[in-house]
Amino acid sequence: MSLLVLGVSHRTAPLSVLEKVVVAEPDQPKLLARIAGGGQVAEALVLSTCNRIEVWAVVEAFHAGVAHIGEALARHTGAGERELTEHCYVHYGKAAVQHVFSVAASLDSMVVGEQQILGQVRAAYATATSAGTVGAGLHGVVQQALRTGKAAQSQTAVAHAGPSMVSRALDQVAAHLPAGWDGAKVGIVGAGAIGSLVVADLKERAPGLGEVVTFSKTQRSARRLAETAASGGLTATAGAMTELVELLGSFDVLVTCAGAVGTLLVAEDFAMIGEGIVVCDLSVPRDVDPSVADLPGVRVVDTQSLAEGAAQTLDQEALRAVEALVAKEVAAYLQGQLQQSVVPTVTALRQRADEVVAEELLRLETKLPGLDQAQRAEVTKSVRRVVDKLLHTPTTRVKELAGGGDGGKYAEALRELFGLAPGSVAAVTGTGSHEPGGRESAPEGAREPVR
């Protein structure tokens, strides 16, 4: 069993493709059931954010796994298989582990150092666990990746090395405001995590802001976000979604981050715009129809323009520190997996040794029935001590040597030397352990389209 990653991200696809393949959290269990139900995939997790859709899976065979996951994703999202194939990438075995760790450490994010990805990976793991598609393979790699991502945030300066996506977006918005933020009226649609980040950023950068009006699917959420803005010194009120279109003409800036299924605003909704408005759409799929960008007096900032914008100023020293941390953690994880590959053989060997000891002690009891309980206990302890000492060096060394990549050879040597039956090892192994590599040859994770 090996790790496979298939995905589409801001690095390989334009926003027009990304918003077709995004999978909302409530729909993920259905997709997971489709992926895990075909027999080609043993475990699966779906990571869907505004910048990527990825399937992390444990598979027996590379080509069958890629074909099945690609077909399941295309059928679920309605995206054409040809379009999906053109923009997707695949990582397998060790390269897949490297990619998962890099994603959790935000090295593959649109904004390197952003902290949201850790929560998104945790949420994806929780959803897959609830759906019953996480086993020992995914559990191990995801938990270690999360620990690595957390270490990247706490042990390096990458979290402060570059601006956040929200900060970059508001920088682009400010460039379209002739008078700056002073006196500007801002509408915020969406009271989730992104909406809270927008409010936090505005409190820092725009103390002279005119007014903030918050909108959400529920009035309670809109009021909560308005109260957060007000507590930071901004003038803020909560509006009703039914009033949004009517109020558009009063806004200098409209920030949307509702993450709605379907379009919230279309070109006709902006018909009454007077002096102009800057629309900042941070959702994928987009909350605002792309045609709005063609209207006179409307400027649009979205995740596509962020991706196409100038390269972020990132502290290269901080970036190198995270890359070194990820490389170290990936190496440690892979070595651990190699060592784990011989555990079934070592366990079977110790079980066989226990059986031999039990047989010999029983034979001794029949030959020396006069031994009292204390004497029998001392003999048992001595025999077990001898066996443990004899087995300690070979079982310890085989784990150490397995870390060098030849675990299978050493495990086979142990089986031959001690006459372990294949069935005894299989019984310990169960359904098989997750291995970082794969038996079937495959492109080691090149970020190229799958042809």
> What is the Cα–Cα distance from 162 to 111, expressed in whole angstroms?
7
Write down the catalytic residue from 50, 88, 257, 280: 50
428 close to 346: Cβ distance less than 8 angstroms? no
Q: Is 115 annotated as a binding residue?
A: yes
Q: Is the dihedral of CA 331, 334, 339, 343 positive or negative?
A: positive
Q: Is 190 annotated as a binding residue?
A: yes
Q: Is 403 annotated as a binding residue?
A: no
Q: What are the Cα distances from residue 279, in Å, to 184, 254, 380? A: 13, 5, 80
* 398-402 contacts, C-beta under 8 A, 24 or more apart: 398/342, 398/345, 398/346, 399/339, 399/342, 399/343, 399/346, 400/339, 402/338, 402/339, 402/341, 402/342
191 close to 201: Cβ distance less than 8 angstroms? no
Burial label for 444, CB within 10 Å (0-12, 13-18, 19+), is middle
Q: Is 114 annotated as a binding residue?
A: yes
Tokens of 265: 């605003």
Q: Is 143 annotated as a binding residue?
A: no
Q: Is 412 annotated as a binding residue?
A: no
Integer-rounded Cα Rg, in Å, for the chain is 29
Q: Is 192 annotated as a binding residue?
A: yes
Q: Which residue has the tokens 């003999």?
A: 379
236 close to 211: Cβ distance less than 8 angstroms? yes
* 243-251 contacts, C-beta under 8 A, 24 or more apart: 244/187, 244/189, 244/215, 245/269, 247/187, 247/213, 248/187, 248/272, 248/273, 248/277, 249/273, 249/274, 249/277, 250/185, 251/185, 251/186, 251/187, 251/213, 251/277
**Short-list 58, 88, 70, 81, CA closest to 31:** 70
Q: Is 69 annotated as a binding residue?
A: no
Q: Is 224 annotated as a binding residue?
A: no
E strand map for 172-216 = 185-189, 211-215
Q: Is 191 annotated as a binding residue?
A: yes
> What is the Cα–Cα distance from 145 to 105, expressed in whole angstroms?
8
Q: Is 194 annotated as a binding residue?
A: yes
Q: Is 67 annotated as a binding residue?
A: no
Tokens of 112: 């390197």
Q: Is 49 annotated as a binding residue?
A: yes
Q: Which residues touch 322 (CB under 8 Å, ≥6 apart)?
A: 105, 106, 107, 112, 152, 156, 158
DSSP 387: H
50 is catalytic: yes
**Short-list 137, 147, 45, CA closest to 105:** 147
- Residues annotated within the binding site for substrate are 49-52, 109, 114-116, 120
- Residues annotated within the binding site are 49-52, 109, 114-116, 120, 190-195
- Tell me which residues are annotated as active site: 50
